[in-house]
Amino acid sequence: MSSAATGDARQSLDLAVIGNCSIASLIDLRARHVFTCLPRLDGDPVFCSLLGGGDTGYFDVELAGYARSTQQYLRNTAIVETRLEALDGAAVRIVDFCPRFRQFDRMFRPTMIVRTVEVASGRPRIRVRLRPRARYGEGQFAVRRGSHHIRYVGETLDLRLTTDASLDYVLEERWFALEDTLTLVLGTDESIAESVGGLGARFLAATTDYWRDWVRTLAVPFEWQREVVRAAITLKLCSYEDTGAIVAALTTSIPEAPGSARNWDYRYCWVRDSLFTVKALNRLGATRTMESYLRFIVNVAADAKDYALQPLYGISGESTVEERIATALDGYRGMGPVRVGNAAWRQRQNDAYGAVVLSAMQAFYDERLRERAGIEALRQLTVLGEHAWALHAEPDAGLWEFRTRSEVHTFSSAMCWAALDRLAHLHAHFGEPDASLWRERAEAARKYVLEHGWNASLGSFVDVPGGTGADASLLLLPEIGLVPYDDPRFLGTLALIERRLKRDGFIARYDRADDFGVPTVAFNVCTFWYINALAGAGRVGEARELFETMLARCNHVGLLSEDLDPATGELWGNFPQTYSLVGIINAAMRLSRPWESAL
């Protein structure tokens, strides 16, 4: 999958992502690194031009006489290849990646970006520009020249560019004729004790092998394999392997809609979002992410008072991620504010307890795991279950994180039921004497949802008990097992959502005004939930058609953001969004013809 571009495409979400589960970098169609947080996924963006800040905060290779570009991933990898072509036919091939492979009996994933530049045709002239910033655009790096490297000295982070290009040309941003392949290695301030070109070639080969071997382990569907593989690799890049956390997206403050001020920082670990990511990768057979994430969530829960869960955490388990405005950046396309941190950590979101229990379930039964979860893990989950029981009919901010109102939300109550239901199963599985207690609690919570979340006059489940609002999250009620897809109550809910939330075929989150008014965009994961609901309700032809439409809305390398303008098809919201990538995987797995159909 590739795309051609002419002119300046830097103000769109036509971005590719490289990474290694420690860091990640977003690259535009002209091979400019525009958003790169170091030294980890939620760090200070040393390249921040995606969010403004003037002509700085990026790393690019310019081609004299630039006319067009094409960009693609090397097959089944997280390695990006960009071809820049000039008006006179000269062209360069740029390859970008973050090293990731096994070395010395452990995974090697350094804070490092490797970039190679080679002649593709003609006699190209290029210049290299590396302009990092610090403190979200406020600060600069002091530049120091070494013998074969350039140091960028910051207040809390020092970077080193090691290269076989002319240091003068790089420092002075001078145009020069490209003759031989250049290698540029940007990382922490550590020396490289070998040929930089040799290191780049060795790391490229090893990283290519790693990703292709990983992809070979995936249990992909027969149809849409390329799209599923790309989504799976990108989900993997959104995991922070050092702790097991999974970020909701790799960016902050890309607005949900133009000028909406719905600009949020998603570079943190949401308990709910992580559930969807873990389950999607599990369906593909990639269970290590689940194992790492469960270690993460057990640690953060153990640190909390009485095991009370927050909706989100920092990626090393920080409970506090205070929200502030980065004033030096004017925002994506000038649409600020740029937020750092997310005040939702202070909220109560009761569905979190169901999310954790559902995330853990496979660990109790999967024989492939090195060590299945046992009775001690059940005891830890049981403490969370006590919260689910206590809160199943209590108000919260809800799945959509309303900031100015707190109500009992039908979906939150349903997720508390899911926690209680699975705990009843687990207690029975282990022969625990209180299995009947958990079953009684689960039945009571289910009765509450079915009675209070149901609006008889509308013939539908609604957003809050006693309310009339449509809520796309209710499309998940069969997915978590509360009601079957053919239940008349669910079919009524599906019909209400179609009447109220459809936007040119795509699905919005809800229809009540929130802190910023009524949402105007479709939320991509809601459309995928709708696709699955259509299939579950027997409307498979409609589901396949809409799924193909959603795939056509992916960007040039197969990635999706959080939101979609239904009228224009333009992507908005933080990028790449794990929810949306999960949607691709789940819909493909549900809708694909079986492998046997082609054999």
Query: Domains along the chain?
Result: 2-198 (2.70.98), 220-592 (1.50.10.10)
Q: Tens digits of per-residue pLDDT, 573-597?
A: 999 999 999 999 999 999 999 998 8
Least confident of 240-249, 288-297, 537-546, 568-577: 288-297
pLDDT for 128 beyond 80:
yes
Q: How far apart are CA 178 and CA 2, in angstroms?
A: 24
Question: From CA 539, how far away is CA 527, in angstroms rounded?
Answer: 15
Q: How far apart are CA 371 and CA 337, in angstroms?
A: 46
Minimum mean pLDDT range among 5-19, 36-50, 199-213: 5-19
- In the chain, % of residues over pLDDT 70: 98
Average pLDDT over residues 508-521: 85
- Given this model, what pLDDT does residue 302 score? 82
pTM over 0.85: yes
Rounded percentage of the chain residues whose pLDDT exceeds 90: 90
pLDDT of amino acid 493? 98
For the cut 70, the answer to whether the pLDDT of residue 180 exceeds it is yes
Give the pLDDT band (50/70/90) at residue 516.
confident
From 461, 459, 429, 430, select the one nearest 448 (Cα to Cα): 461
How far, in Å, CA of 92 to CA of 125, rounded? 9
Helix ranges (H only) for 148-195 are 167-172
Cα 102 from Cα 555, distance rounded (Å): 31
Question: Looking at per-residue confidence, does 153 or 294 come out higher?
Answer: 153
Task: Report pLDDT for 5.
Answer: 59
Mean pLDDT computed over 169-196: 96
Average pLDDT for the chain: 95
- Res. 8: pLDDT tops 50: no
- Per mean pLDDT, which range of 98-102, 302-306, 441-445 is the poorest? 302-306
Confidence of residue 306 (pLDDT cuts 50, 70, 90): confident
Q: What is the predicted pLDDT for the residue at 307?
A: 78
Instruction: Supply the pLDDT for residue 562.
Output: 97
Assess whether the previous peptide bond of 221 is cis (omega < 30° from 0). Answer: no
Strands (E), 375-519: 454-455, 460-461, 502-503, 506-507
514-520: average pLDDT: 79
The phi, psi pair for 117, rounded to 5°, reads -130, 125
Q: Cite the beta strand spans of 328-377 per DSSP E.
A: 339-340
Residue 303 has pLDDT above 90, yes or no: no
What pLDDT digit, counting tens, does each position of 196-213 carry? 999 999 999 999 999 999
CA-to-CA dists, residue 457 to 157, 332, 449, 489, 558, angstroms? 60, 44, 16, 12, 42
pLDDT of res. 2 = 58
- Read off the amino acid at residue 465: P
Rounded to a whole number of angstroms, the distance between the first and last alpha carbons of the chain is: 26
Query: Can you tell me the distance from the alpha carbon of 217 to that of 530, in angstroms, rounded to the nearest whole number?
Result: 29
Out of 201-215, 452-466, 502-516, 543-557, pick the least confident.
Answer: 502-516
On the question of pLDDT at 392 being above 50, the answer is: yes
Provide the pLDDT for residue 207: 98
Mean pLDDT within 433-447: 97
Scan for tokens 């997720």, then name that residue. Answer: 415
Q: Residue 10 pLDDT more than 70?
A: no
Question: How high is the pLDDT of residue 599?
Answer: 64
Quote the pLDDT of residue 9.
Answer: 40
